[in-house]
Structure 1
């Protein structure tokens, strides 16, 4: 078993070796004195000298941590001064940047007529890469700020206190949803009988007239089902798992139905497309690109509706 002097010296050497030469002697003297005093106190209580020395050094802890305290050097990557700013910015960027990058890659692959497997693989690969880069570079910036002591310029005051979290089941949410649904139904009828797109003659409908009556009836049925769901959620004053599941099914049915019609060329009025695009020199390749972008929009909005429903459900369960 090593002697008391040897253990103490090993501990002190491990502590001061990462310190600057200017402070090593002072720290050595301080540690020697404090360790000796602590050992003497234990010896007075009847402890064995070797065990007393070992206990004192154990209480002092890792010499690297002790040295960091003497050097005023943080051992954390992001400290409390910057942590919340780092975390909030990182979450915001991880919500926005990967989704935009994956969407852009998927659209580009679709325009190039890539197989669906290739499209998904490319989007996922880019998404993972973007997530890694966002995490690394944001953390690196805050690491530098932490080590240099720079000011982020973010100051907190009481005006930044968040409003109470809403679960999407209040009266205002219900009214807004119903108004939106009514406007949607009204837009369908307006498009069919009056037309949104003016011409020198009769207005041209945007939706394919061939959808009447059964296609439009199915479409309006989805609107009615969504309205009923809104009423049920408001009546219960909260989102439930059942409501989220129904909302998911409605959004998925709408996405699949509208996307299928778009791919088959049965969603939009051919006369409208010809008058607006073909007759104005728009090429078939450009029309295909516009179709791809429209298709992604028909997928993106239902996905957002699904995610929003489950977020509200999670908030309601936490509440």
Structure 2
């Protein structure tokens, strides 16, 4: 005997429920469907059309069964969604950057080529992103399904402090003071020398950079000062300001890294004095580091890596502030 649509619908609904609840749900559905069909028939519909219309209104039996079982039909519900999203964003900011940064530094120190460094770092970064997203989400899926209580509850003490946009008077003063100290340090290094030798101090920066190389650096310092003043007068970060900040940061990185790669940044006399003062101990250390290019190459890689990290952070911070300012205006 062929089962009716109602029987098929009820069977599909209760099959995934616990055995002890199936009879009660079956009786409830049979009664409610019968009443709804009878009401439609009294309004002039045929029994077959009325039955089909009632079952259509009830919807997918899987969704109805999930409601009876109090079983969520989503990976992460409202209870844990914000906690999951905030934790995932924090991890995505910290873990991939740290792993890829360590990978790049290690490869550069080992003498890997630029192509090898980029290829392996991208591969590792993608792997970290996939695993981080999957395992973090899986943990919250398990919490959602088991109904576990993480003990994390919101209260007013968690409200974030009001963030400054980096365009105030104190930021302007700090920027100008820092740039002024940098300019004075460069001039002092050339005129008086910074590194003590037991006699007259010697410059750390290569004297041959004067006037053109150092002149380019002073131009960048003046442009940075002008940018700080313009930002203060603008009173907020904009997309244009973020672009200018990016260009200035990249220009400074290019000035340092190009001279460093060409071996023209540091005073040769300064390096020679370090070698002489280091004696046998320095020679032994340099011999151990010979496979990686020697101690000076390792120090150059560390310095270049530190500068690159600082420049990237400056660029990202500028765009972040511009985005926050734009969002504040839209709100």
Distance 1:286 1:64 in 2: 67
Note the residue ranges of structure 1 that are not aligned, 5 or more in a row: none
Distance 2:318 2:16 in 1: 54
Which has the larger displacement, 184-193 or 61-70?
Answer: 184-193
> Match of 2:313?
304
> Match of 1:16?
14
**1:59 pairs with 57, 60, 85, which one?**
57
C-alpha deviations, 1:86-126, integer Å up to 9, x for none?
A: 10110111112112222222222222332222211111111
How much has 1:171 moved relative to structure 2? 2.6
How much has 1:316 moved relative to structure 2? 2.5
> Match of 2:148?
150
> Match of 1:286?
295
**1:1-319 matched pairs, under 5 angstroms:** 6-193=4-191, 197-198=195-196, 200-276=198-274, 279=278, 280-281=281-282, 282-283=285-286, 284=290, 285-318=294-327, 319=329
Q: Could you say if the C-alpha distance between residues 11 and 175 of structure 1 is closer, same or farther in structure 2, counting changes exceeding 3 Å?
A: farther
How much has 1:194 moved relative to structure 2? 5.3
TM-score, normalization by structure 1 = 0.90
Q: Could you say if the C-alpha distance between residues 79 and 277 of structure 1 is closer, same or farther in structure 2, counting changes exceeding 3 Å?
A: farther
Distance 2:197 2:139 in 1: 56
Q: Could you say if the C-alpha distance between residues 231 and 61 of structure 1 is closer, same or farther in structure 2, counting changes exceeding 3 Å?
A: same
Which has the larger displacement, 164-173 or 125-134?
Answer: 164-173
Distance 2:275 2:64 in 1: 73
Distance 1:107 1:51 in 2: 72
Q: Could you say if the C-alpha distance between residues 272 and 38 of structure 1 is closer, same or farther in structure 2, counting changes exceeding 3 Å?
A: farther
SS of aligned partner of 1:306: helix
Which has the larger displacement, 297-306 or 204-213?
Answer: 204-213
Which has the larger displacement, 6-15 or 178-187?
Answer: 178-187
Distance 2:73 2:200 in 1: 74
C-alpha deviations, 1:137-183, integer Å up to 9, x for none?
A: 11111112222222223221112222344433233332332233233
Distance 2:202 2:150 in 1: 55
Q: Could you say if the C-alpha distance between residues 262 and 247 of structure 1 is closer, same or farther in structure 2, counting changes exceeding 3 Å?
A: same
Distance 1:219 1:257 in 2: 8
TM-score, normalization by structure 2 = 0.87
Distance 1:254 1:131 in 2: 31
How much has 1:277 moved relative to structure 2? 6.2
SS of aligned partner of 2:4: helix
Note the residue ranges of structure 2 that are not aligned, 5 or more in a row: none
How much has 1:256 moved relative to structure 2? 1.1
C-alpha deviations, 1:14-60, integer Å up to 9, x for none?
A: 11111111111111111111111122222222223222222221221
Distance 1:12 1:99 in 2: 53
